[in-house]
Structure 1
Amino acid sequence: MPEARVIPLRRRGVEDAAPLRPATPALVRQPHGPAPNLREFLRHRLTGDYPVDEFGFDPEFTDTVLLPPMRAIFEKWFRVTVTGSLPAGTGAMVVANHSGTVPWDAAMTAVAVHDVHPEHRHLRMLGADLLFKVPVLADIARRSGQTLACRADAVRLLRSGEVVGVWPEGFKGIGKPFRDRYRLQRFGRGGFVATALRAEVPIIPCSIVGAEEIHPKIGELRPLARLLGLPYFPVTPLFPLLGPLGAIPLPTKWTIHFGEPVRTDLAGPGADQDQALVLDIADRVRDTIQTTLDRAVAARPGIF
Protein backbone atom coordinates (compact mmCIF):
# COMPACT_ATOMS: atom_id res chain seq x y z
CA MET A 1 0.00 0.00 0.00
CA PRO A 2 1.63 3.30 -1.04
CA GLU A 3 2.27 5.80 1.72
CA ALA A 4 1.76 9.53 1.51
CA ARG A 5 4.67 11.95 1.80
CA VAL A 6 4.84 13.60 5.20
CA ILE A 7 5.56 17.32 4.98
CA PRO A 8 6.87 19.17 8.06
CA LEU A 9 5.28 22.33 9.41
CA ARG A 10 7.26 25.46 8.62
CA ARG A 11 6.98 29.08 9.63
CA ARG A 12 5.61 31.13 6.76
CA GLY A 13 7.70 34.23 7.21
CA VAL A 14 5.70 35.58 10.14
CA GLU A 15 7.48 38.58 11.66
CA ASP A 16 6.96 39.14 15.36
CA ALA A 17 5.17 42.41 16.20
CA ALA A 18 4.95 43.34 12.51
CA PRO A 19 1.84 45.19 11.30
CA LEU A 20 -0.86 42.91 9.96
CA ARG A 21 -0.87 42.82 6.18
CA PRO A 22 -3.98 44.10 4.40
CA ALA A 23 -6.79 41.63 4.65
CA THR A 24 -9.45 40.59 2.19
CA PRO A 25 -11.93 43.44 1.67
CA ALA A 26 -15.13 43.01 3.65
CA LEU A 27 -18.12 41.43 1.87
CA VAL A 28 -15.90 40.03 -0.91
CA ARG A 29 -15.42 36.28 -1.27
CA GLN A 30 -12.40 35.27 -3.27
CA PRO A 31 -12.70 32.85 -6.20
CA HIS A 32 -11.76 29.39 -5.04
CA GLY A 33 -10.12 28.33 -8.28
CA PRO A 34 -10.91 25.56 -10.77
CA ALA A 35 -12.54 22.32 -9.71
CA PRO A 36 -10.00 19.73 -8.50
CA ASN A 37 -8.93 17.15 -11.10
CA LEU A 38 -10.46 13.86 -9.96
CA ARG A 39 -8.27 11.80 -12.28
CA GLU A 40 -5.11 13.31 -10.82
CA PHE A 41 -6.48 12.80 -7.31
CA LEU A 42 -7.07 9.08 -7.95
CA ARG A 43 -3.62 8.68 -9.51
CA HIS A 44 -1.99 10.29 -6.49
CA ARG A 45 -3.96 7.98 -4.18
CA LEU A 46 -2.71 4.91 -6.02
CA THR A 47 0.91 6.02 -6.17
CA GLY A 48 1.06 7.60 -2.71
CA ASP A 49 2.37 10.80 -4.28
CA TYR A 50 0.46 13.24 -2.08
CA PRO A 51 1.51 15.23 0.99
CA VAL A 52 0.22 15.03 4.54
CA ASP A 53 1.63 16.86 7.55
CA GLU A 54 2.52 15.51 10.99
CA PHE A 55 -1.10 15.85 12.11
CA GLY A 56 -2.44 13.77 9.22
CA PHE A 57 -3.83 16.74 7.28
CA ASP A 58 -4.35 15.82 3.63
CA PRO A 59 -4.96 19.04 1.64
CA GLU A 60 -5.59 17.26 -1.66
CA PHE A 61 -8.27 15.04 -0.09
CA THR A 62 -9.83 18.07 1.58
CA ASP A 63 -9.91 20.16 -1.61
CA THR A 64 -11.10 17.35 -3.89
CA VAL A 65 -13.45 15.26 -1.75
CA LEU A 66 -14.66 17.38 1.17
CA LEU A 67 -14.76 21.03 0.13
CA PRO A 68 -16.93 20.73 -3.04
CA PRO A 69 -19.99 19.17 -1.30
CA MET A 70 -19.52 21.41 1.75
CA ARG A 71 -19.33 24.46 -0.52
CA ALA A 72 -22.54 23.38 -2.27
CA ILE A 73 -24.32 23.20 1.09
CA PHE A 74 -22.72 26.53 2.04
CA GLU A 75 -23.96 28.27 -1.11
CA LYS A 76 -27.24 26.49 -1.93
CA TRP A 77 -28.69 25.19 1.35
CA PHE A 78 -27.62 27.70 4.00
CA ARG A 79 -26.91 30.53 1.48
CA VAL A 80 -24.18 31.89 3.71
CA THR A 81 -23.22 35.55 3.55
CA VAL A 82 -19.69 36.27 4.77
CA THR A 83 -18.73 39.68 6.09
CA GLY A 84 -15.52 41.03 7.58
CA SER A 85 -12.04 39.88 6.67
CA LEU A 86 -9.06 37.77 7.68
CA PRO A 87 -5.44 38.98 7.96
CA ALA A 88 -2.76 37.75 5.56
CA GLY A 89 0.84 36.84 6.29
CA THR A 90 0.28 35.47 9.79
CA GLY A 91 -1.21 32.60 11.68
CA ALA A 92 -4.52 33.46 13.31
CA MET A 93 -7.01 32.01 15.77
CA VAL A 94 -10.67 32.16 14.75
CA VAL A 95 -12.90 32.07 17.85
CA ALA A 96 -16.59 31.49 17.15
CA ASN A 97 -19.91 30.88 18.86
CA HIS A 98 -21.12 27.27 18.75
CA SER A 99 -24.72 26.13 18.21
CA GLY A 100 -27.13 24.04 16.22
CA THR A 101 -27.20 20.65 18.04
CA VAL A 102 -25.13 19.17 15.17
CA PRO A 103 -21.87 21.08 14.39
CA TRP A 104 -22.67 22.30 10.90
CA ASP A 105 -21.36 25.70 12.01
CA ALA A 106 -17.81 24.35 12.19
CA ALA A 107 -17.97 22.91 8.67
CA MET A 108 -19.44 26.11 7.22
CA THR A 109 -16.83 28.25 8.98
CA ALA A 110 -14.12 26.10 7.40
CA VAL A 111 -15.54 26.85 3.94
CA ALA A 112 -15.81 30.56 4.76
CA VAL A 113 -12.19 30.76 5.97
CA HIS A 114 -10.83 28.96 2.91
CA ASP A 115 -12.76 31.08 0.41
CA VAL A 116 -12.33 34.44 2.17
CA HIS A 117 -8.72 34.19 3.35
CA PRO A 118 -6.31 36.07 1.04
CA GLU A 119 -4.09 32.98 0.89
CA HIS A 120 -6.93 30.43 0.95
CA ARG A 121 -5.84 28.89 4.22
CA HIS A 122 -7.59 25.79 5.50
CA LEU A 123 -9.17 26.08 8.93
CA ARG A 124 -7.33 23.77 11.35
CA MET A 125 -10.02 23.08 13.92
CA LEU A 126 -9.35 21.93 17.47
CA GLY A 127 -11.77 19.09 18.23
CA ALA A 128 -13.03 17.36 21.38
CA ASP A 129 -11.95 13.85 22.40
CA LEU A 130 -15.31 12.42 21.33
CA LEU A 131 -14.73 13.34 17.69
CA PHE A 132 -11.58 11.22 17.50
CA LYS A 133 -13.24 8.17 19.07
CA VAL A 134 -15.82 7.73 16.32
CA PRO A 135 -14.73 5.28 13.57
CA VAL A 136 -14.47 6.75 10.06
CA LEU A 137 -15.36 10.23 11.32
CA ALA A 138 -12.06 10.39 13.22
CA ASP A 139 -10.09 9.60 10.06
CA ILE A 140 -12.00 12.19 8.03
CA ALA A 141 -11.41 14.76 10.77
CA ARG A 142 -7.66 14.14 10.73
CA ARG A 143 -7.48 14.26 6.94
CA SER A 144 -9.41 17.55 6.86
CA GLY A 145 -6.93 19.22 9.22
CA GLN A 146 -8.63 18.84 12.58
CA THR A 147 -6.63 17.84 15.61
CA LEU A 148 -7.26 17.12 19.26
CA ALA A 149 -7.50 20.26 21.37
CA CYS A 150 -3.98 20.46 22.78
CA ARG A 151 -2.16 23.71 23.52
CA ALA A 152 1.25 22.54 22.35
CA ASP A 153 -0.10 21.36 18.99
CA ALA A 154 -2.20 24.50 18.56
CA VAL A 155 0.85 26.70 19.18
CA ARG A 156 2.85 24.76 16.58
CA LEU A 157 0.11 25.20 14.00
CA LEU A 158 -0.29 28.91 14.72
CA ARG A 159 3.45 29.60 14.62
CA SER A 160 3.66 27.83 11.26
CA GLY A 161 1.13 30.30 9.83
CA GLU A 162 -2.03 28.21 10.01
CA VAL A 163 -5.52 29.48 10.81
CA VAL A 164 -6.81 27.59 13.85
CA GLY A 165 -10.50 27.36 14.73
CA VAL A 166 -11.75 27.28 18.34
CA TRP A 167 -15.28 27.05 19.78
CA PRO A 168 -14.79 27.84 23.49
CA GLU A 169 -18.40 27.06 24.44
CA GLY A 170 -17.87 23.41 23.48
CA PHE A 171 -20.80 21.06 24.04
CA LYS A 172 -22.44 23.65 26.32
CA GLY A 173 -22.96 25.84 23.28
CA ILE A 174 -23.84 23.36 20.59
CA GLY A 175 -26.17 21.40 22.86
CA LYS A 176 -28.02 24.24 24.56
CA PRO A 177 -31.84 24.33 24.35
CA PHE A 178 -33.54 26.40 21.68
CA ARG A 179 -34.88 28.86 24.27
CA ASP A 180 -31.26 29.94 24.94
CA ARG A 181 -30.44 30.63 21.28
CA TYR A 182 -27.87 33.35 20.63
CA ARG A 183 -26.91 33.53 24.30
CA LEU A 184 -23.24 32.67 24.61
CA GLN A 185 -22.30 30.11 27.21
CA ARG A 186 -19.17 30.36 29.37
CA PHE A 187 -15.81 30.49 27.60
CA GLY A 188 -14.04 28.49 30.30
CA ARG A 189 -10.78 29.83 31.75
CA GLY A 190 -9.51 31.41 28.55
CA GLY A 191 -7.22 28.65 27.35
CA PHE A 192 -7.59 29.82 23.76
CA VAL A 193 -6.26 33.26 24.76
CA ALA A 194 -3.21 31.77 26.48
CA THR A 195 -2.53 29.75 23.33
CA ALA A 196 -2.77 32.82 21.08
CA LEU A 197 -0.55 34.82 23.44
CA ARG A 198 2.11 32.12 23.42
CA ALA A 199 2.03 31.89 19.61
CA GLU A 200 1.79 35.70 19.25
CA VAL A 201 -1.00 35.59 16.67
CA PRO A 202 -4.20 37.66 16.38
CA ILE A 203 -7.55 36.39 17.64
CA ILE A 204 -10.42 36.81 15.16
CA PRO A 205 -13.86 36.99 16.84
CA CYS A 206 -16.32 35.14 14.59
CA SER A 207 -20.10 35.52 14.91
CA ILE A 208 -22.40 32.98 13.24
CA VAL A 209 -26.12 33.69 12.78
CA GLY A 210 -28.48 31.07 11.38
CA ALA A 211 -27.06 27.88 12.89
CA GLU A 212 -29.20 28.12 16.04
CA GLU A 213 -32.37 27.28 14.10
CA ILE A 214 -31.23 24.30 11.99
CA HIS A 215 -32.10 21.73 14.71
CA PRO A 216 -34.22 23.44 17.40
CA LYS A 217 -33.48 21.42 20.54
CA ILE A 218 -36.58 21.19 22.72
CA GLY A 219 -35.42 18.36 24.96
CA GLU A 220 -32.99 15.49 25.37
CA LEU A 221 -32.98 11.78 26.22
CA ARG A 222 -30.37 11.59 28.97
CA PRO A 223 -30.49 7.81 29.60
CA LEU A 224 -29.88 7.18 25.89
CA ALA A 225 -27.06 9.73 25.86
CA ARG A 226 -25.35 7.97 28.79
CA LEU A 227 -25.80 4.60 27.09
CA LEU A 228 -24.18 5.86 23.89
CA GLY A 229 -21.47 7.87 25.67
CA LEU A 230 -22.72 11.16 24.21
CA PRO A 231 -22.87 14.56 25.94
CA TYR A 232 -26.57 14.71 24.99
CA PHE A 233 -29.11 12.99 22.74
CA PRO A 234 -31.31 15.75 21.32
CA VAL A 235 -35.04 15.89 20.79
CA THR A 236 -36.17 18.37 18.11
CA PRO A 237 -39.58 18.89 16.46
CA LEU A 238 -38.46 16.47 13.71
CA PHE A 239 -35.96 14.16 15.43
CA PRO A 240 -36.19 11.33 16.39
CA LEU A 241 -39.86 11.44 15.32
CA LEU A 242 -39.00 11.31 11.59
CA GLY A 243 -35.91 9.14 11.97
CA PRO A 244 -33.03 9.92 9.57
CA LEU A 245 -35.15 12.53 7.76
CA GLY A 246 -35.37 14.46 11.01
CA ALA A 247 -31.57 14.79 11.03
CA ILE A 248 -31.58 16.94 7.89
CA PRO A 249 -30.89 20.54 8.97
CA LEU A 250 -33.48 23.20 8.21
CA PRO A 251 -32.40 25.50 5.32
CA THR A 252 -31.95 28.65 7.38
CA LYS A 253 -30.18 31.73 5.99
CA TRP A 254 -26.75 32.23 7.57
CA THR A 255 -24.33 35.08 8.13
CA ILE A 256 -20.73 34.55 9.22
CA HIS A 257 -18.90 37.68 10.33
CA PHE A 258 -15.15 37.90 10.96
CA GLY A 259 -14.48 40.76 13.38
CA GLU A 260 -11.48 43.00 13.88
CA PRO A 261 -8.34 41.10 14.95
CA VAL A 262 -7.36 41.26 18.61
CA ARG A 263 -3.57 41.66 18.70
CA THR A 264 -1.64 39.44 21.11
CA ASP A 265 1.89 39.84 19.77
CA LEU A 266 2.62 43.05 21.70
CA ALA A 267 1.87 41.70 25.20
CA GLY A 268 5.46 40.61 25.83
CA PRO A 269 7.08 37.31 26.86
CA GLY A 270 5.30 35.30 29.51
CA ALA A 271 1.97 37.05 28.89
CA ASP A 272 0.23 33.68 28.56
CA GLN A 273 0.97 33.10 32.27
CA ASP A 274 -0.84 36.29 33.32
CA GLN A 275 -4.27 34.90 34.20
CA ALA A 276 -5.78 38.35 34.72
CA LEU A 277 -4.74 39.37 31.20
CA VAL A 278 -5.95 36.07 29.76
CA LEU A 279 -9.40 36.44 31.33
CA ASP A 280 -9.64 40.10 30.32
CA ILE A 281 -8.97 39.28 26.65
CA ALA A 282 -11.33 36.29 26.78
CA ASP A 283 -14.11 38.53 28.13
CA ARG A 284 -13.45 41.12 25.42
CA VAL A 285 -13.64 38.48 22.68
CA ARG A 286 -16.82 37.00 24.16
CA ASP A 287 -18.44 40.42 24.50
CA THR A 288 -17.54 41.28 20.91
CA ILE A 289 -19.14 38.09 19.60
CA GLN A 290 -22.26 38.53 21.75
CA THR A 291 -22.72 42.17 20.70
CA THR A 292 -22.32 41.27 17.03
CA LEU A 293 -24.81 38.40 17.37
CA ASP A 294 -27.38 40.67 19.04
CA ARG A 295 -27.12 43.27 16.28
CA ALA A 296 -27.18 40.73 13.45
CA VAL A 297 -30.18 38.84 14.84
CA ALA A 298 -32.10 42.09 15.33
CA ALA A 299 -31.30 43.27 11.80
CA ARG A 300 -32.08 40.12 9.81
CA PRO A 301 -35.40 40.10 7.96
CA GLY A 302 -36.21 36.48 8.82
CA ILE A 303 -34.84 33.04 9.67
CA PHE A 304 -35.16 31.65 6.14
Structure 2
Amino acid sequence: MRFFRLCGRIPLPRRQVRCNPDPSQRGETMRYGFVGLGNLGGALAASLARAGFAPVVHDRDPAARATLEGLGATWAASPTALAAQFDAVITCLPNPAASEAVLDTLLPALKPGATWIEMSTLGRDDILRLGHKAEAAGLNVLEAPVTGGVHLAAQGRITVLAGGAQDVFARHRPALQAMGDRIFHMGPLGSAALIKVITNMLAFIHLVADGEALMLAKRGGLDLKTAWEAIAASSGTSFVHETEGQLILNGSYDIAFTMDLALKDLGFARDFGQAFGVPLDLATLTEQTFRRAQAAYGGQAQSTQVVKLLEDLLGTDLRAGGFPARLE
Protein backbone atom coordinates (compact mmCIF):
# COMPACT_ATOMS: atom_id res chain seq x y z
CA MET A 1 0.00 0.00 0.00
CA ARG A 2 1.53 3.29 -0.96
CA PHE A 3 2.03 5.92 1.71
CA PHE A 4 0.08 8.90 0.34
CA ARG A 5 -3.28 7.54 -0.81
CA LEU A 6 -6.10 6.87 -1.47
CA CYS A 7 -9.45 8.01 5.82
CA GLY A 8 -18.94 10.33 24.33
CA ARG A 9 -18.88 13.37 21.88
CA ILE A 10 -16.25 15.82 23.08
CA PRO A 11 -16.10 19.27 21.44
CA LEU A 12 -12.55 20.28 20.60
CA PRO A 13 -11.53 23.52 22.32
CA ARG A 14 -10.73 25.96 19.53
CA ARG A 15 -7.77 28.27 19.76
CA GLN A 16 -8.36 31.77 18.41
CA VAL A 17 -6.51 31.93 15.11
CA ARG A 18 -5.88 34.77 12.71
CA CYS A 19 -7.86 33.81 9.63
CA ASN A 20 -6.75 34.81 6.18
CA PRO A 21 -9.34 36.90 4.34
CA ASP A 22 -11.89 34.59 2.75
CA PRO A 23 -11.23 34.64 -1.01
CA SER A 24 -14.92 33.99 -1.66
CA GLN A 25 -15.68 37.35 -0.03
CA ARG A 26 -13.40 38.97 -2.61
CA GLY A 27 -15.16 37.26 -5.50
CA GLU A 28 -12.31 34.78 -5.91
CA THR A 29 -12.30 30.98 -5.96
CA MET A 30 -10.64 29.54 -2.89
CA ARG A 31 -7.62 27.41 -3.83
CA TYR A 32 -6.75 24.04 -2.37
CA GLY A 33 -3.83 21.70 -2.10
CA PHE A 34 -4.65 17.99 -2.12
CA VAL A 35 -2.38 15.22 -0.79
CA GLY A 36 -3.25 11.54 -1.32
CA LEU A 37 -4.42 10.43 -4.78
CA GLY A 38 -5.29 6.78 -4.34
CA ASN A 39 -8.55 5.29 -5.57
CA LEU A 40 -10.67 7.61 -3.44
CA GLY A 41 -8.44 10.66 -3.17
CA GLY A 42 -7.77 10.74 -6.89
CA ALA A 43 -11.49 10.75 -7.64
CA LEU A 44 -12.16 13.52 -5.10
CA ALA A 45 -9.32 15.68 -6.42
CA ALA A 46 -10.61 15.17 -9.97
CA SER A 47 -14.07 16.42 -8.95
CA LEU A 48 -12.48 19.47 -7.34
CA ALA A 49 -10.54 20.17 -10.53
CA ARG A 50 -13.58 19.73 -12.78
CA ALA A 51 -15.44 22.28 -10.67
CA GLY A 52 -12.78 24.90 -11.44
CA PHE A 53 -10.89 24.93 -8.13
CA ALA A 54 -7.57 24.14 -9.90
CA PRO A 55 -6.07 22.23 -6.95
CA VAL A 56 -2.35 21.64 -6.56
CA VAL A 57 -1.95 17.92 -5.90
CA HIS A 58 0.66 15.45 -4.65
CA ASP A 59 1.06 11.73 -4.14
CA ARG A 60 4.20 9.62 -3.76
CA ASP A 61 2.95 7.56 -6.69
CA PRO A 62 2.65 9.83 -9.77
CA ALA A 63 0.15 7.52 -11.51
CA ALA A 64 -2.69 10.05 -11.25
CA ARG A 65 -0.60 13.02 -12.40
CA ALA A 66 -1.48 13.03 -16.10
CA THR A 67 -5.21 12.63 -15.52
CA LEU A 68 -5.39 15.41 -12.95
CA GLU A 69 -3.21 17.81 -14.90
CA GLY A 70 -5.52 17.22 -17.86
CA LEU A 71 -8.40 18.43 -15.68
CA GLY A 72 -6.61 21.63 -14.65
CA ALA A 73 -4.78 20.53 -11.51
CA THR A 74 -1.10 21.32 -10.94
CA TRP A 75 1.40 18.75 -9.67
CA ALA A 76 3.58 19.54 -6.63
CA ALA A 77 6.83 17.75 -5.88
CA SER A 78 6.00 17.35 -2.18
CA PRO A 79 3.35 18.24 0.41
CA THR A 80 5.58 21.07 1.65
CA ALA A 81 5.82 22.52 -1.84
CA LEU A 82 2.07 23.04 -2.04
CA ALA A 83 1.32 23.96 1.58
CA ALA A 84 2.47 27.58 1.73
CA GLN A 85 0.48 28.70 -1.30
CA PHE A 86 -3.08 27.94 -0.35
CA ASP A 87 -6.07 28.66 1.81
CA ALA A 88 -6.54 24.98 2.68
CA VAL A 89 -4.89 21.61 2.20
CA ILE A 90 -6.98 18.45 1.90
CA THR A 91 -5.57 15.06 2.84
CA CYS A 92 -7.01 11.65 1.93
CA LEU A 93 -4.75 8.91 3.27
CA PRO A 94 -5.00 5.23 4.23
CA ASN A 95 -4.46 5.33 8.00
CA PRO A 96 -3.85 7.60 11.01
CA ALA A 97 -0.06 7.14 10.87
CA ALA A 98 0.02 8.39 7.28
CA SER A 99 -2.22 11.33 8.17
CA GLU A 100 0.00 12.36 11.06
CA ALA A 101 3.18 12.04 9.00
CA VAL A 102 1.76 14.25 6.25
CA LEU A 103 0.34 16.75 8.76
CA ASP A 104 3.77 17.05 10.38
CA THR A 105 5.27 17.98 7.01
CA LEU A 106 2.51 20.53 6.35
CA LEU A 107 2.52 22.35 9.70
CA PRO A 108 5.74 24.37 9.23
CA ALA A 109 4.62 25.54 5.77
CA LEU A 110 0.91 26.31 6.16
CA LYS A 111 -0.02 29.93 6.78
CA PRO A 112 -1.69 30.81 10.11
CA GLY A 113 -5.43 30.78 9.59
CA ALA A 114 -5.27 28.23 6.79
CA THR A 115 -7.43 25.10 7.07
CA TRP A 116 -6.46 21.45 7.20
CA ILE A 117 -9.31 19.35 5.78
CA GLU A 118 -8.91 15.67 6.63
CA MET A 119 -10.95 13.38 4.36
CA SER A 120 -9.35 10.12 5.54
CA THR A 121 -11.28 7.73 7.77
CA LEU A 122 -9.78 8.16 11.25
CA GLY A 123 -10.84 7.16 14.70
CA ARG A 124 -12.31 9.95 16.80
CA ASP A 125 -9.36 9.96 19.19
CA ASP A 126 -7.02 10.30 16.20
CA ILE A 127 -8.78 13.28 14.64
CA LEU A 128 -9.14 15.01 18.02
CA ARG A 129 -5.44 14.53 18.80
CA LEU A 130 -4.28 15.65 15.36
CA GLY A 131 -6.80 18.48 15.39
CA HIS A 132 -5.34 19.79 18.65
CA LYS A 133 -1.88 19.65 17.08
CA ALA A 134 -3.01 21.59 14.01
CA GLU A 135 -4.91 24.22 15.99
CA ALA A 136 -1.93 24.73 18.29
CA ALA A 137 -0.01 25.67 15.12
CA GLY A 138 -2.63 28.30 14.24
CA LEU A 139 -4.72 26.31 11.77
CA ASN A 140 -8.43 25.69 11.39
CA VAL A 141 -9.44 22.04 11.16
CA LEU A 142 -12.29 20.31 9.37
CA GLU A 143 -12.82 16.55 9.13
CA ALA A 144 -14.74 15.45 6.05
CA PRO A 145 -14.70 11.68 5.51
CA VAL A 146 -16.90 10.39 2.70
CA THR A 147 -19.15 7.40 2.18
CA GLY A 148 -20.75 5.73 -0.82
CA GLY A 149 -17.86 4.20 -2.74
CA VAL A 150 -15.21 5.19 -5.24
CA HIS A 151 -17.67 5.03 -8.15
CA LEU A 152 -19.79 7.79 -6.58
CA ALA A 153 -16.67 9.82 -5.79
CA ALA A 154 -15.75 9.62 -9.47
CA GLN A 155 -19.19 11.02 -10.34
CA GLY A 156 -19.00 13.83 -7.75
CA ARG A 157 -21.98 12.22 -6.01
CA ILE A 158 -20.43 10.82 -2.85
CA THR A 159 -21.79 11.73 0.60
CA VAL A 160 -19.58 14.01 2.71
CA LEU A 161 -19.73 13.83 6.52
CA ALA A 162 -18.19 16.95 8.06
CA GLY A 163 -17.15 17.75 11.61
CA GLY A 164 -15.74 21.00 12.94
CA ALA A 165 -16.66 24.59 13.68
CA GLN A 166 -19.69 25.88 11.78
CA ASP A 167 -17.86 28.87 10.32
CA VAL A 168 -15.02 26.68 9.00
CA PHE A 169 -17.54 24.27 7.49
CA ALA A 170 -19.42 27.12 5.82
CA ARG A 171 -16.23 28.60 4.39
CA HIS A 172 -15.31 25.34 2.65
CA ARG A 173 -18.77 24.06 1.80
CA PRO A 174 -18.46 25.03 -1.91
CA ALA A 175 -15.42 22.75 -2.25
CA LEU A 176 -17.18 19.93 -0.42
CA GLN A 177 -20.17 20.34 -2.75
CA ALA A 178 -17.84 20.04 -5.72
CA MET A 179 -16.85 16.59 -4.47
CA GLY A 180 -20.18 15.31 -3.15
CA ASP A 181 -23.88 15.88 -3.64
CA ARG A 182 -25.04 15.24 -0.06
CA ILE A 183 -23.20 17.18 2.63
CA PHE A 184 -23.88 16.69 6.36
CA HIS A 185 -22.40 18.84 9.11
CA MET A 186 -22.48 16.36 11.99
CA GLY A 187 -21.28 18.70 14.76
CA PRO A 188 -17.92 19.43 16.40
CA LEU A 189 -14.67 17.77 15.42
CA GLY A 190 -14.87 14.02 16.06
CA SER A 191 -18.55 13.77 15.14
CA ALA A 192 -17.89 12.84 11.52
CA ALA A 193 -15.38 10.17 12.54
CA LEU A 194 -18.08 8.48 14.60
CA ILE A 195 -20.81 8.51 11.94
CA LYS A 196 -18.36 7.40 9.21
CA VAL A 197 -17.36 4.35 11.26
CA ILE A 198 -21.03 3.59 11.91
CA THR A 199 -21.86 3.69 8.20
CA ASN A 200 -18.89 1.48 7.31
CA MET A 201 -19.76 -0.98 10.06
CA LEU A 202 -23.25 -1.33 8.61
CA ALA A 203 -21.87 -1.76 5.09
CA PHE A 204 -19.60 -4.64 6.12
CA ILE A 205 -22.42 -6.35 8.03
CA HIS A 206 -24.66 -5.97 4.97
CA LEU A 207 -21.92 -7.39 2.74
CA VAL A 208 -21.59 -10.60 4.74
CA ALA A 209 -25.37 -10.90 4.94
CA ASP A 210 -25.76 -10.35 1.20
CA GLY A 211 -23.31 -13.14 0.46
CA GLU A 212 -25.33 -15.52 2.63
CA ALA A 213 -28.59 -14.43 0.96
CA LEU A 214 -27.21 -14.92 -2.55
CA MET A 215 -25.83 -18.33 -1.59
CA LEU A 216 -29.24 -19.39 -0.27
CA ALA A 217 -30.74 -18.36 -3.60
CA LYS A 218 -28.10 -20.26 -5.59
CA ARG A 219 -28.26 -23.46 -3.54
CA GLY A 220 -32.03 -23.27 -3.57
CA GLY A 221 -32.04 -23.42 -7.37
CA LEU A 222 -32.99 -19.82 -8.15
CA ASP A 223 -31.63 -17.90 -11.10
CA LEU A 224 -29.15 -15.51 -9.47
CA LYS A 225 -29.78 -12.56 -11.76
CA THR A 226 -33.50 -12.73 -11.12
CA ALA A 227 -32.91 -13.28 -7.40
CA TRP A 228 -30.65 -10.20 -7.27
CA GLU A 229 -33.34 -8.14 -9.01
CA ALA A 230 -36.06 -9.42 -6.69
CA ILE A 231 -34.02 -8.59 -3.58
CA ALA A 232 -33.23 -5.13 -4.98
CA ALA A 233 -36.98 -4.51 -5.36
CA SER A 234 -37.81 -5.83 -1.89
CA SER A 235 -37.75 -4.70 1.73
CA GLY A 236 -34.56 -6.71 2.11
CA THR A 237 -32.48 -4.58 -0.23
CA SER A 238 -29.53 -2.44 0.78
CA PHE A 239 -27.08 -0.07 -0.85
CA VAL A 240 -24.44 -2.82 -0.58
CA HIS A 241 -26.68 -5.37 -2.30
CA GLU A 242 -27.41 -2.97 -5.15
CA THR A 243 -23.74 -2.04 -5.67
CA GLU A 244 -21.23 -4.56 -4.31
CA GLY A 245 -23.66 -7.42 -4.93
CA GLN A 246 -23.21 -6.81 -8.66
CA LEU A 247 -19.42 -7.19 -8.38
CA ILE A 248 -19.82 -10.47 -6.52
CA LEU A 249 -22.10 -11.83 -9.22
CA ASN A 250 -19.67 -10.67 -11.91
CA GLY A 251 -16.78 -12.36 -10.09
CA SER A 252 -14.44 -9.36 -10.20
CA TYR A 253 -15.12 -8.31 -6.58
CA ASP A 254 -13.47 -5.03 -7.65
CA ILE A 255 -14.79 -2.43 -5.22
CA ALA A 256 -11.38 -0.66 -4.89
CA PHE A 257 -11.37 -1.15 -1.11
CA THR A 258 -9.08 -3.61 0.62
CA MET A 259 -9.54 -6.19 3.35
CA ASP A 260 -7.00 -4.30 5.49
CA LEU A 261 -9.02 -1.08 5.25
CA ALA A 262 -12.23 -2.90 6.15
CA LEU A 263 -10.61 -4.36 9.25
CA LYS A 264 -9.23 -0.95 10.22
CA ASP A 265 -12.76 0.46 10.18
CA LEU A 266 -14.25 -2.52 12.01
CA GLY A 267 -11.58 -2.03 14.67
CA PHE A 268 -12.68 1.57 15.08
CA ALA A 269 -16.27 0.35 15.50
CA ARG A 270 -15.18 -2.14 18.16
CA ASP A 271 -13.39 0.64 20.03
CA PHE A 272 -16.48 2.87 19.93
CA GLY A 273 -18.62 0.02 21.24
CA GLN A 274 -16.29 -0.45 24.19
CA ALA A 275 -16.06 3.30 24.85
CA PHE A 276 -19.83 3.81 24.83
CA GLY A 277 -20.81 0.52 26.47
CA VAL A 278 -22.70 -0.76 23.43
CA PRO A 279 -22.49 -4.52 22.70
CA LEU A 280 -21.86 -4.92 18.96
CA ASP A 281 -22.65 -8.58 18.42
CA LEU A 282 -23.16 -8.40 14.65
CA ALA A 283 -20.13 -6.17 14.14
CA THR A 284 -18.00 -8.56 16.21
CA LEU A 285 -19.07 -11.57 14.14
CA THR A 286 -18.47 -9.59 10.96
CA GLU A 287 -14.97 -8.61 12.08
CA GLN A 288 -14.17 -12.26 12.78
CA THR A 289 -15.38 -13.19 9.29
CA PHE A 290 -13.22 -10.50 7.72
CA ARG A 291 -10.20 -11.72 9.68
CA ARG A 292 -10.69 -15.20 8.21
CA ALA A 293 -10.94 -13.67 4.75
CA GLN A 294 -7.80 -11.61 5.32
CA ALA A 295 -5.93 -14.76 6.34
CA ALA A 296 -7.23 -16.63 3.30
CA TYR A 297 -6.80 -14.01 0.58
CA GLY A 298 -4.43 -11.38 1.98
CA GLY A 299 -4.85 -7.87 3.30
CA GLN A 300 -4.77 -6.30 -0.15
CA ALA A 301 -7.62 -8.49 -1.44
CA GLN A 302 -10.88 -6.72 -2.25
CA SER A 303 -13.14 -6.40 0.78
CA THR A 304 -15.98 -7.97 -1.23
CA GLN A 305 -13.97 -11.19 -1.32
CA VAL A 306 -15.20 -11.85 2.21
CA VAL A 307 -18.11 -13.54 0.38
CA LYS A 308 -15.63 -15.88 -1.32
CA LEU A 309 -15.14 -17.63 2.04
CA LEU A 310 -18.64 -19.06 1.69
CA GLU A 311 -18.15 -19.85 -2.00
CA ASP A 312 -14.94 -21.75 -1.27
CA LEU A 313 -16.41 -23.55 1.74
CA LEU A 314 -19.36 -24.87 -0.28
CA GLY A 315 -17.58 -25.23 -3.63
CA THR A 316 -20.31 -23.06 -5.16
CA ASP A 317 -19.65 -19.82 -7.02
CA LEU A 318 -22.06 -16.92 -7.17
CA ARG A 319 -21.72 -15.97 -10.84
CA ALA A 320 -24.46 -14.55 -13.03
CA GLY A 321 -24.40 -12.84 -16.41
CA GLY A 322 -25.14 -9.20 -17.07
CA PHE A 323 -23.28 -7.60 -14.15
CA PRO A 324 -20.35 -5.17 -14.45
CA ALA A 325 -16.76 -5.81 -13.39
CA ARG A 326 -16.59 -2.29 -11.90
CA LEU A 327 -19.21 0.22 -10.84
CA GLU A 328 -19.51 3.32 -13.00
TM-score (norm 2): 0.27
Please state which structure has a larger fraction of its residues in helix. 2
Query: Which one scores higher on RCO, CA 8 angstroms, separation ≥ 6?
Result: 1
Higher Rg: 2
TM-score by length of 1: 0.29
